[in-house]
A and B are shown apart, each in its own frame.
Chain A
Amino acid sequence: MTTRATRLKRLIGAVTVAATVAAVAACGSGDSGDTAADGTVTLEFAQWWGAELPAGDFDKIINDFTAQNPNIKIKLLSAPYASTKQQLVTGAASKTLPDVVGLDGAWVNDFAKQGAIADMSKLMTDASYDPSQLASQIQLDGKTYMIPVVNFVYPLFVNKDLLTKAGVADVPATRSEFLDAAKKISATGDNVKGWALPLDTAVPNGIQNDVMSWLWASGGSMLTDGKPNLTSPQVKSTVEYVKSLNDAGVIAPGSLTMKEQDKVEKFSNGQVGMMIDSLAHINLIKKNKPDLNFEVAALPAEDGYTGKRGIPYASWGIGISNSTKHKAEAFKFVSYLMSQETNAKLSTIANGFPGNKNAEPDFSDSDPLFKAAFDIYKQGYPANEFVGLPKAEDLMRSFDEQLQLVLTGKQSVDDALAKSQESWSSVIG
């Protein structure tokens, strides 16, 4: 081997070692919340919102903030919902959460108990922020850990053409009317069914959106004083009603492994006449099936119920990492997103409802269905009892498994509720 070749090999070896050491060192150094030499603070903001908004719209809102606050930069970490959740769970565990985090209400309790997200009540006080303008706050032991920025409600979607074909004149407003309409739609043939019930256990939010929504629509509750009360007559009535829909054969087949997107697909294709779904899907349905004649309505309530109807919702919530060095700057950004003007703008482009009470979304360019849904929302009240509960997804999954046993005839409703109560009690206490 020539001396030249030997030197070259040594050089390559040395460079490789240096590069590896540098890479490993880089892995260990976080750049979250960096402060530049000129005092500019860069905040990392992890969320799934950017991916769900029209391209570039969220960037404009962020750019407006940085224009108003030149000493704060925002680094957006946008990923789909499921990826964001996994990243935040691992980040919370390793105390490396980004400075500002998009949150789902179902995660709050666990993150707060880990000490991963900050008490925002204190930050509000420090910043002299008026919390009365907020539509809601997600609290634990009296401290705010998440602020819902935009809310998405889940009304009843009804295929008007199928309803007419089935000979049903009015959109069902009660449980018995719904059962009757579902039976008539199912009787039209061509594998069309009245309702879709997604009970897939991978993402078991069908329990929240498609099952417990019946309970909340009649003013019911699955909790008493914050503790599970699944054996109550109201919950039993709800599960028995879902079972009656199943027994009547009006639920689209495959519900035990059906996902939310399958439900939307079946409704869009005219394979089911009714579904409970997020307003966020209106544009998707209109885009995929422009001719689909559908409308949104309040969820049917128990016969004879005259009170306000709870309507399930999901939120784009926001929180602040407990480990960030720049909590004040982070809260400045949060308060910007929650300001009347920005919040109205954000909820308009998101086709959701604002987290600021005073913000009015602009429906002038939106589909009329959003205005209709907003009216339903204002007549009722947002209801989602899973928000703030510990291990919320696991609670949904254990209930889901018991409900699946009921629907497959392997268990009675009473046994399912008793077992769910026992399972939930071990988590919630």
Chain B
Amino acid sequence: MTSAHVEPVTAPPVAPPAGRPAPGRARVNPARRLIPYAYLSPTIVLMMVLMVVPIVMVVGYSFRDNVIVQENPVLVGFANYTKVLTDPDFLVALKNTAVFISVSTVAHLVLGLGFALMLNTQLLSGVTKAVFRIVYILPWLFTIAVIAVIWRLLLDPAGVVNYVLQTLGLVQEGVNWLGDPSTALWAVTFANVWSGYPFFMISLLAALQGISADLYEAAAVDGAGPLRRFLNVTLPQLRPVIISMAVLDLIWTSQQFALIWMMTGGGPLNTTEMLSTYTYKQAFSEYEFATASAAAVIVLLLTMVLAFFYVRQQQRER
């Protein structure tokens, strides 16, 4: 068998048609190139004015000697950061915030998942599930101010919670939930959990309803019981949603201000002081805008770490 030598065929150069530029080398009118930016410009301008400029200003303030209240503040480098990071009140606020957001997020997740599973079950009738759905979502419909007032009333030493506990014989006398340093942080965390779990519940319910029934059927054919189906089918399917929700919740909860401020004001004895209330007090009570800015930048950096994980998670999902 002989082999034929085949000369490679070189295609003759093809000249672009007259009046039509080669692909990738299109000569576009410069004015036309600006059109996309013109469309983007409202967003860019708004982002600059509402986000970039304030952030840059706050960062700038944090490096100066008490800005705003002084006519000619001078650069002091990292002095404000040193002052904030060595302030015992800030460290207490940091610890409280860590406890508050971690407990809140875990509780939101557990409660939200539990209620979502209940609303997704085939064991309850449609009407029952509809009623439960309305009841469970109610906390989400209240504004933070209303939630703070409701829970202040409920947790009052002479309030409903103590009345119920006393009636059941669980406590001898009314517990001072918000006024007692040993219970205040748990009380505000509980109120935050109550107000925030419906968002998890709704999101996880939507995710649960998106899981293909085929997976459960296949697992059942393989002999998997309810627990194994939950561990090997449900949880892996919910994983991306759970991670995204948890990271978002950590970010949102770290910025919780109104609930704490209205329920305890950071007290008693700083036991519910959060980074948000600490920063507010620095600015609007002590008029120390530079240290308030430094504290705000520290919170921003901590939040950016969480945001980084959130974005990375989102990219992985794609």
Contacts and interface: CB of A to CB of B under 8 A. Distances in A.
Contacts of A21: 45
Contacts of B265: 200-203, 257
B269 A191 contact: no
Contacts of B176: 253-254
A254 B157 contact: yes
Contact of A258 (B179, B180, B269): B179
B287 A86 contact: no
Contact of A391 (B45, B184, B264, B287): B287
A13 B42 CA distance: 9
B222 interface: no
B267 A201 contact: yes
Interface string A171-205: 00000000000000000000100000001111100
A24 B49 CA distance: 8
Contact of A20 (B46, B181, B269): B46
A266 to B, nearest CB: 8
Chain A interface, DSSP helix/strand/loop, else mixed: helix
Given A113-B69, A202-B261, A256 B42 contact: no
Interface residues of A, number: 44
Contact of B267 (A115, A256, A391): A256
A93 B71 CA distance: 10
Interface in A251-278: 252-258, 262, 271
Contact of B45 (A10, A24, A252, A408): A24
B38 interface: yes
Interface stretch (A152-160, A328-336, A337-345, A393-401): A393-401
B241 to A, nearest CB: 35
Contacts of B270: 401
A284 interface: no
B286 interface: yes
A89 B262 CA distance: 20
B286 A201 contact: no
Nearest to B46: A20
A255 B179 contact: yes
A404 B269 contact: yes
A89 B263 CA distance: 24
A85 B284 contact: yes
A20 B41 contact: yes
The residue in B49, B180, B287 that gathers the most chain A C-beta atoms within 10 A of its C-beta is: B287
A110 interface: yes
B112 interface: no
Nearest to B68: A93
B71 A115 contact: yes
Nearest to B277: A202
Contacts of A256: 179-181, 267-269
B178 interface: yes
A114 B180 CA distance: 39
Interface in B18-71: 35, 38-39, 41-42, 45-46, 49, 68-69, 71
A257 B41 contact: no
A199 B45 CA distance: 45
Contacts of A10: 35
Interface string B147-178: 00000100011100000000000000010101
B285 A93 contact: no
Interface string B172-200: 00101011110010000000000000000
A13 B35 CA distance: 9
B13 to A, nearest CB: 33
A17 interface: yes
A16 B68 CA distance: 34
A262 to B, nearest CB: 8
Contacts of A14: 38
Interface string A396-429: 0100010011001010000000000000000000
A415 to B, nearest CB: 15
Contacts of B287: 89, 110, 391, 394
A114 B286 CA distance: 14
Contact of B178 (A89, A254, A394): A254
A27 interface: yes
A408 B269 contact: yes
Contacts of B281: 394, 397
Contacts of B181: 256, 408
A391 B178 contact: no
B266 interface: yes
B146 to A, nearest CB: 15
A258 B264 CA distance: 8
Interface string B94-108: 000000000000000
Nearest to B42: A20
B39 A13 contact: yes
Contact of A405 (B41, B42, B269, B283): B269
B267 A13 contact: no
B90 interface: no
Contacts of A262: 152, 156
Interface in A82-136: 85-86, 89, 93-94, 110, 113-115
B179 A254 contact: yes
Contacts of B115: none
Interface string A361-400: 0000000000000000000000000000001011001000
A254 B181 CA distance: 11
B289 interface: yes
A28 to B, nearest CB: 9
Contacts of A405: 269
Interface string B203-220: 000000000000000000
Contacts of B286: 391, 394
The residue in B178, B180, B267, B270 that gathers the most chain A C-beta atoms within 10 A of its C-beta is: B267
A254 B180 CA distance: 7
Across the A-B interface, give the 3 residue pairs with the lowest CB-CB distance, nearest first.
Answer: A202-B265, A256-B268, A93-B68
Interface of A: 9-10, 13-14, 16-17, 19-21, 24, 27, 85-86, 89, 93-94, 110, 113-115, 191, 199-203, 252-258, 262, 271, 391, 393-394, 397, 401, 404-405, 408, 410
24 contacts: A10-B35, A14-B38, A16-B39, A16-B42, A17-B42, A19-B42, A20-B46, A27-B49, A93-B68, A93-B69, A114-B69, A115-B71, A191-B174, A200-B265, A202-B267, A253-B174, A253-B179, A254-B178, A255-B179, A256-B181, A393-B285, A405-B269, A408-B181, A410-B269
Given A86-B284, A93-B69, 14 more contacts: A16-B42, A85-B284, A191-B157, A200-B265, A201-B266, A201-B268, A252-B157, A253-B157, A253-B176, A256-B267, A256-B269, A262-B156, A393-B285, A408-B269
